[in-house]
Structure 1
Amino acid sequence: MTTSTEQIVGETAALALMRGYLAADPEAIAAAAAAGAVCPTTAAYMRQQTSGLLTEAVLADPGFSPYHRAVMGPAGIEWLESVPMETAVAEAVLALAGDGAAPRLPLDDAQLATVFALSAVARCVAVYGREETMLHLDRIRSVVAGP
């Protein structure tokens, strides 16, 4: 399988977006969003990466069971409450925090990438804590951006 430049840029931008939100760094968030907006293919890879990381974060929760709703833990909710976000994104993030279901709102790729990024970071914070989440994102980034 060949990895395209758009894929690498999109996946790297997704991780940079997540790190930016975790570090509360508006410049990093803006730079990651701009990198993801280069082209529709890059944006789609960015959304795909954040969606996959959200799924991974849900499954990493030690309380996860396919038999009940995947409600986000209190530490994740507390972290989310500290993050400024636009209304449509906030509504979708809160829906994901409640049950893990994909939002049914008409969002574009950039908004969906933001929703999934915020939700994945919040769930990782709830499971691993802030520092371990940052290390986890760094490990993934080294694989994505590697040779």
Structure 2
Amino acid sequence: MTTSTEQIAGETAALDLMRGYLAADPEAIAAAAAAGAVCPTTAAYMRQQASGLLAESVLADPDFSPYRRAVMGPAGIQRLESIPMEAAVAEAVLALAGDGAAPRLALDDAQLATVFALSAVARCVAVYGREGATWHLDRIRSVVAEP
């Protein structure tokens, strides 16, 4: 299987977006969002990468069980509540934090990538800690950036 330029750009932008939210760096967030908005294919890969990392961080939680809802802990909720976001994104993020279900809102790829990135960062911090989450995202980015 070959990796397209759009795939690499989208996956890298998703990781950069998550790293921007982790560092609370508005310029990095804006740059990653702009990189993901280059074309619809890049935006779709960005959303897919952020969604996959959210699922991975939920499964990595030592308290995860397939027999109960994947409710985000208080530290993750507190982190999410401290980040400004548009109303539709906030509603979807809090839905994911509440039960892990996919948002039922009509959001575009950029909004969904933001929802999944914010949720994944909060859950990664809860599972790995802040430094561990940074290391984890950097490690994945180094692999994704190489075709």
**TM-score of the superposed pair, with normalisation by structure 1:** 0.98
Secondary structure, in 3 states, of the residue corresponding to 1:104?
coil
For residues 85-108 of structure 1, give each alpha carbon's deviation from its aligned partner in whole angstroms, at most 9, with x where no partner exists: 111000000000000000000100
| Residue identity opposite 1:106 in structure 2 | A
Compute the RMSD of aligned alpha carbons.
0.7
Unaligned regions of 5+ residues in structure 1, if any?
Answer: none
Deviation string for 1:7-53 (max 9, x for gaps)? 00000000000000110100000000000000000000000000000
Question: In 2, Cα distance between the equivalents of 1:5 and 1:28?
Answer: 21
Contact between 1:74 and 1:126, CA under 8 Å: does it hold in 2? no
Amino acid corresponding to residue 7 of structure 2 in structure 1:
Q
Give the distance between the partners of 1:42 and 1:104, measured in 2 at CA.
23
Which residue number in structure 2 is paired with residue 39 of structure 1?
A: 39
* 1:82 Cα deviation from its structure 2 partner: 1.4
Aligned residue identity for 1:41: T
* Distance of 1:130 and 1:74 partners within structure 2: 15
> Which segment drifts farther, 54-63 or 70-79?
70-79
Partner letter of residue 2 of structure 2? T
Following TM superposition, where does structure 1 have runs of at least 4 consecutive aligned residues deviating by more than 6 angstroms?
none
The amino acid that maps onto 2:82 is S
Cα distance in 1 for residues equivalent to 2:81 and 2:128? 18
Query: Number of matched residues?
Result: 147
Q: What does residue 91 of structure 2 align with?
A: 91
| Within-5 A mapping of 1:1-147 | 1-147=1-147
| TM-score, L = length of structure 2 | 0.98
